[in-house]
Amino acid sequence: MTARPLTVLSEDEQIFQKAVLDFARSKVAPRVHAMDAAAKIDLDLIPALFELGLMGVEVPERFGGAESSFFTAILAVEALATVDPSVSVFVDVQNTLVNNAILRWGTEAQQAKYLPRMCSEWVGSYCLSEAGSGSDAFALKTRAEKTADGWRLTGSKLWITNGAEASLYIVLANVDAAQGYKGITAFLVERDFAGFAVGKKEDKLGIRASSTVELLLDGCHVPEENVLGPVGQGYKIAIETLNEGRIGIGAQMIGLAQGAFDYALGYMLERKQFGQPIAEFQGLEFQYAQVATEIEAARLMVYNAARLKDAGLPFVKEAAMAKLFASQVAERAASMAVEFVGGVGFTKEYPVEKFFRDSKIGKIYEGTSNMQLSTIGKLLRKAALSRK
């Protein structure tokens, strides 16, 4: 990854970014091909991610975390994605969705119980999507029924990232269907709770080492103390968490784009035709200059959204724009990287083919591109009307 200007990253941030990049290149890169083929993360990597502090970036030190910023977590996601977007999203979900939700909405007892584990050994998973609720996220059918000592959850979840490795799941269920989205409530579900099971694992086009599974809740008993946030406020938890998560996906996409671009440019500098490196031909030069410019623009949008979030300023529009544009850039950059490398780029022996497959998910998960456009449009209209 090209070094960023000092005006963008502080010295400490640059040191952290380099440490994650070094880890990705030395520990993750040798495993990427095998993990993609096996469609499974190498379990030996997971303890190393915890040891490096990447699974609890924002968690306070008293719980075993690094007590750093959201922006720092975004740097980690980006850096890992330059080598493997699957490992990147593994870390992303842990930090931007699961840990963040517990930090914001968890009680002191919940934080004390779960956050030390989330920083040392437990993988987390965020469970909203269902067969009939994708973009219409609040059409979920999973139900939560009150019992004498807690809640009974019944239903299923689909497309759940980190589901195969997780020990803790944030599950969204409706306690009162008549109330619509106002009945949605968040629950902290441990893997060994009675009535909970991990189902089918999806066989995906890209980010294959990242597990995507079905979850089955057959009268799953959840103690009363494991309700996350107020009953009936799950929709608010979901919206706010996903707004932050979109910045993480934007970071994953710019890392992916940079990784594909760096490899392709290195190849073009070495590959000679007609007596000179193909990178020197103007026809290619103009193309990769355009790709590099788009990656830098997307990076600044992602960084800006993350800085706004850390500053406590409005960031929803910027997050949607960053996720939208970064996913577009990643797909274009990865596609062009395959073309830059040529015929061998179409083979699995070269990494650009995998980056291309991995890029497609950026326009789909944590809010499709159309949903981002809808969010942006609504916020633009609201801002315009407020100025009248």
Catalytic amino acids?
A: 366
Say how many C-beta atoms besides its own lie within 10 A of residue 376's C-beta.
17
Cα angle at 206 between 318 and 43, to 5 degrees? 100
Residue holding tokens 């932050």? 244
Residues in the chain: 388
CB 45 within 8 A of CB 32: no
CA gap 310, 10 in Å, rounded: 15
Residue type, 189: V
Coil, strand or helix at 134: coil
CA gap 214, 302 in Å, rounded: 30
Run of H or E including 337: helix 316-341
Contacts of 172 (CB under 8 A, 6+ apart): 127, 128, 140, 142, 184, 185, 186, 187, 234, 237, 238
Backbone angles phi, psi at 64, to 5 degrees: 95, 5
CA gap 76, 97 in Å, rounded: 15
Measuring CA to CA, which residue among 173, 179, 183 is closest to residue 140?
173
- Strands 124-127 and 168-174 turn out to be parallel
CA gap 122, 373 in Å, rounded: 35
Per-residue DSSP letter, 378 = H
Cα angle at 292 between 32 and 324, to 5 degrees? 75
